[in-house]
Amino acid sequence: ATPQTASSRVTPDMIQTGSDIPAHWTTPQGNYDYVKREVMIPMRDGVRLHTVIMIPKGAGNHPMLLERTPYNASGFVTSNSPHLADAVWSGGKDWAKAGYILVWQDIRGKYGSEGKYIMTRPPMGPLNPTKTDDTTDAWDTIDWLVKNIKAGNGKVGMIGSSYDGWTVAMALLHPHPALKVAAPESPMIDGWMGDDWYHYGALRQVNLDYFTEQMSVKGSGETIPRENQDDYSNFLEAGSAGALAEAHGFGQLPWWNRFSAHPAYDAFWQLQALDKLLPQHASDVPTMWLQGLWDQEDMYGAIHAWEALTAAGHGANNHLVMGPWFHSQINRDGWSLGPLKWPGNTTAQFRRQVMIPWFDHYLRGTPEATSLPQAMIYNPSEQRWDSFSNWKVAGQQALTPLYLQAAHGLGFQVPAAGGDSYVSDPANPVPYLSRPIPQKNDRWRTWLLQDQRFVENRGDVLSYTTPVLASAVTLQGAPIADIFARTTGTDGDFVVKLIDVYPGSDADDPAMGGYELPISLDIFRGRYRKSFADPSAIPANEVQEYKFRLPTVNYVFKPGHRIMVQIQSSLFPLYDRNPQRYVPNILFAKPGDYQKATVTLEHGPQARSAVLLPLVAPASQP
């Protein structure tokens, strides 16, 4: 036998018969500069909402910043760093440094919260017969927070971008008295008119992924599986958006069934459009409506909510901010946007110098160094913020037509009679990004700034250009596309882009030589030219007017540049293809419905196609 030595003997402490994972684990947090609490806050109907609360340690009397989200409240805490500013996501860091209690809550039915989820649940009323909505849930949450978070000072601000901006807007319909200030950032306000689902009736079909991501499961769902790397091929091969959706099981989604039954702007959309509801329930809460100038997702919401409130006489407590940003960029770095570089970090500067001091004023009573103007809009050409005390609500502003001219010219002079034609073929739609087009990624964020030379020479894209500008042309406001056109089809879409054409070479920034930078663009579905609620077939070969507002700008076309207007009939696969034959519901167009159409843009004399410009000074050129 081998003699036993002390080192070869098995002792009881060497043996684990249970589990190496303790029943409860606690991280020692003596050195943490905050306390993290996770609570289930009861709503008035007994449903409890999962809420993450990050409380700075110290003297107390902190203001609270509340964000209500369908995107997983727990995910806003990105690490277990002992320092609050390091533990939270990029959008929370400056607020953490400023000593705020940070609160993220899962909305009803998502992630850790109880209850049922409804996509952007309409306010209580005809579309929501229950006794709760995101207005009452925000109210009940704030009520609980001010009563239960002892380190707080009893005052709450709300913030959040996109869907989370929508939850801020919903809270404003009947705010809790402790809600003292709010900033809806790129809020979704009207999903049909110009935010995530449609633009003037054209379906943003790349957002179909969002349906399964959000609604196939309570937590984080998957995107639609792809056959090809290039989404241009994926969507083209699928046929209609409805065919793609149904092939991927969307019939299981109640939201898809409601959504696809209401392609026009009927009561379903009208009754949940927040820019209509907010003025009817206008609050006194100081509110900053904030969005990007190139917001690829919710370009419509903030400015329309602000305009509707201002037009209804609530301009005193509602402010507009438009930064040189993509969607939700305010919560990230802002040194650049696509090809454009700024002299500083525009988002951090804005958060630290404007937004947080403004919140501090209402939540801590600190004096305002300078009062927030009615509107602050970045001027991308001059690379500076402009402040306005009388920024005009669209419709109150004189506009100057910039006409399509013969020989693809563009100018303020009345054009000679004429027209230009192109063949729009649904089998070969105009791409919105150069192919291959991946599923949403970084290119999606900045697609609105893509150099438009990539489509300029297509036969189905018409480009009209001014001579080289001898002096600056300044726009402040919303341009309006006013297109007169004939088509051989009975339906059709119109895409109008207002473009800044850079000089052919730029010694300081060679990449910008000849760049065709879109500064404002949108799409319009022709069947809605007379009524958004009641579509009608286009009479083939008859001139019709297509008039629609483009995104708001504060922009200077500099001397040496040229102004371009590009017009085309598709922007694919971002928007679904118009079959160009009138069918009751384009979502379910059949393969045989898609037909080529010859589209003719009229120059005049009775029907002068133009983009109506919000010029700052009377135009002497082009």
**Positions that interact with ligand PG9 (CB under 6 A):** 120, 162-163, 166, 188, 196, 210, 297-298
- Indicate the SS3 state at residue 465: strand
Q: Which residue, 120 or 488, is less far from ligand PG9 as judged by CB?
A: 120
Q: Which residue, 163 or 362, is less far from ligand PG9 as judged by CB?
A: 163
Q: Which residue, 195 or 500, is less far from ligand PG9 as judged by CB?
A: 195
Minimal distance, residue 411 CB to ligand PG9, in Å:
38
Q: Which residue, 162 or 260, is less far from ligand PG9 as judged by CB?
A: 162
The pairs formed by 413-416 with CB atoms below 8 angstroms and a separation of 24 or more are 414/604, 414/608, 415/603, 415/604, 415/608, 416/603, 416/604
Residue tagged 């002792």 (tokens):
11
Minimal distance, residue 361 CB to ligand PG9, in Å:
28
Q: d(Cα 580, Cα 589) in Å, to the nearest integer?
A: 10
Minimal distance, residue 131 CB to ligand PG9, in Å:
24
**Number of separate helices (H) and strands (E) present in the chain:** 15, 27
Q: Which residue, 273 or 589, is less far from ligand PG9 as judged by CB?
A: 273
Q: d(Cα 41, Cα 47) in Å, to the nearest integer?
A: 8
Q: Which residue, 204 or 529, is less far from ligand PG9 as judged by CB?
A: 204
What one-letter code names the amino acid at 232?
Y
Widest CA span of the chain, in angstroms? 114
Backbone angles phi, psi at 372, to 5 degrees: -65, 125
Q: Which of 69, 142, 80 lies closest to 108, judged by CA?
A: 69
Q: d(Cα 339, Cα 453) in Å, to the nearest integer?
A: 14
* Paired strand residues for 369: none
- Indicate the SS3 state at residue 440: coil
Minimal distance, residue 183 CB to ligand PG9, in Å:
15
Minimal distance, residue 191 CB to ligand PG9, in Å:
7
Q: Which residue, 135 or 474, is less far from ligand PG9 as judged by CB?
A: 135
Q: Which residue, 297 or 493, is less far from ligand PG9 as judged by CB?
A: 297
- Indicate the SS3 state at residue 66: strand
Minimal distance, residue 499 CB to ligand PG9, in Å:
25
Structure tokens that stand for 359 in this block: 């919140």
Q: d(Cα 390, Cα 412) in Å, to the nearest integer?
A: 26
Strand 418-424 to strand 544-549: parallel, antiparallel, or no bridges (unpaired)? Answer: unpaired
Backbone angles phi, psi at 447, to 5 degrees: -65, -30
Q: Which residue, 297 or 522, is less far from ligand PG9 as judged by CB?
A: 297
Minimal distance, residue 162 CB to ligand PG9, in Å:
3
Q: Cα torsion for 561, 562, 567, 571, to the nearest 10°?
A: -10
Q: d(Cα 537, Cα 580) in Å, to the nearest integer?
A: 10
Q: Which residue, 182 or 215, is less far from ligand PG9 as judged by CB?
A: 215
Q: d(Cα 334, Cα 345) in Å, to the nearest integer?
A: 5
Minimal distance, residue 211 CB to ligand PG9, in Å:
9
Q: Which residue, 39 or 271, is less far from ligand PG9 as judged by CB?
A: 271
Structure tokens that stand for 414 in this block: 């009345």
Minimal distance, residue 207 CB to ligand PG9, in Å:
7
Minimal distance, residue 261 CB to ligand PG9, in Å:
18
Minimal distance, residue 186 CB to ligand PG9, in Å:
7
Are 449 and 294 in contact, with CB atoms under 8 Å apart?
A: yes
My answer on whether omega of the bond before 539 falls inside 30° of 0, hence cis, is no
